[in-house]
Structure 1
Amino acid sequence: MTINERLQQILENLGYQAGNSVSPLLQERARTDPEQKQVYVHNLKPASGVVRLIPLGDIHLGLKSSRLDVFKRFLDYLLANDCYTICLGDQVENATRTSVGLGMYEEDFHLQDQLDAMALLLEPVAKAGKLLGIHEGNHEHRAAVAAGLHPMRILADRLQVPYLGYQGYHKFIVGKEIYHVFTAHNRGGGRTVAGKIKAAEDADQIAFCDVYITGHSHIIDHHYKPIFYIDDATNTLCCRLRHYVICGSFLSYWGSYAEMQLLPPAAIGAPEIIFSADKHLVQVIT
């Protein structure tokens, strides 16, 4: 049996009719994902002409070095202003005996209490309709590896907000403007700022969006790149900006794993992303 005949047999076993050419079938297979990821449409009506998004992640609640006081101030700001948030992962520490550093011995309290405390903190924001979703980070993923449990799915269900999993796709309708936004916890980018920025930029290999929002790196950064595209309505070449936003953390330095490993101090806090309602404009305050 030739390679083409074997490939045709495999395609027939997958439900494709015999006699169809292999190339178009493979092209269609590559173009279409049978399992669709949900797109969350947020129809936001700003009172001030803009919508403000403050993504929060890497709180590591339960860790001794977690700055709960700073995190609480951000939540209070969200409630007092016309702002929204998305949780980007590593909301809780979820240390295990095999974690890096001192693991569970660096925690003030453990997973169940961490979940209860985070639910209590986020509940007013969720009830106000300002929590647009919750991501899973690598720290929460430890529970999935150990026991098949996803703590952030449990938290999202408890708060009745979307569980975004590893990647989130959002359509922000802000007045007359539409913004496509990608969110994720992200992965490691090494010790250097350049490596962390490169890891954030890699998201544009997954999706075409206006804004890419990621965490994990414990730095606050914003930069943008122009991208050209052909406008089908006018047959002209146009330019659009892609924004990359890395969203900080809520960890102090001294006595932490970062100090032990000679890592640079983490940026405490989060950026503010501003979407304009009357023109296609994204601004970021870091």
Structure 2
Amino acid sequence: MTTPVPSLTLNNGVAMPRLGFGVFQVADDEATAAVATALDAGYRSIDTATIYGNEAGTGRALAASGIAREELFLTTKLWNADQGRAETLAAFDASLERLGLNYVDLYLIHWPAPANDRYLASWEALEEIYASGRARAIGVSNFEPEYLDRILATGGTVPAVNQVELHPAFAQSRVRAANAAHGIATEAWSPLAQGGAVLRDPAIEAIARRLDRTPAQVVLRWHVQQDRIAIPKSVTPARIRENLAIWDFELSPADLLAIDALDSAGRIGPHPADVN
């Protein structure tokens, strides 16, 4: 019996699981098996994107799962080359077709691509998609506060989510503060960082030993206890299950502070201003 994943209520009232399963850099055929394993383990939130090239494989796993659609939470994202109002609408239709779905739970602008200056037109299209009911919530990904401000200045829909790189070495305090000021949920991609350096940090290892948990479980617990959504990625069945087993323990305030102190501006991915 799997423990249901607690949800966070987004600013439009939609409930989103606090822990999801990401499929970045997973091949389409491999995504089917990985997502099936995740769903079997108890995940109900799956995060994909057009640029990942695995929407079809993800959709096949959802269809084969036998899980009622209303129990699932599916996120996909608009790629930079598809920005612009008409282009976004067409790209969204193509994503739905690949996924084999008639709606998604969350649709995000993947990167602001500020040099192209088309994300406001794309946001207008996302608002149309949201109004049509084909996306239960809309949001952004990799948006710095200045890009968020331009969307908010239009006076329309406030993004429900801002998905950004966030892990102990790169805590994104400025972005998190901007999100919180507007009721936007912060979602962490690469929540465990990459390459394992964060998980080998002595402070995290010490907490893990004391609690008889893995370092990855400690870091994921750090995210969810601070009201963030996290989407760890793995194709290893044991690790997929391990990452979900974080609901029966808590970090102390001192533990949270010790992990907070690891912030070192250690960005792994590119800066949003540079992805165009």
TM-score (norm 2): 0.40
- Structure index of larger Rg: 1
More strand by share: 1
More helix by share: 2
TM-score (norm 1): 0.39
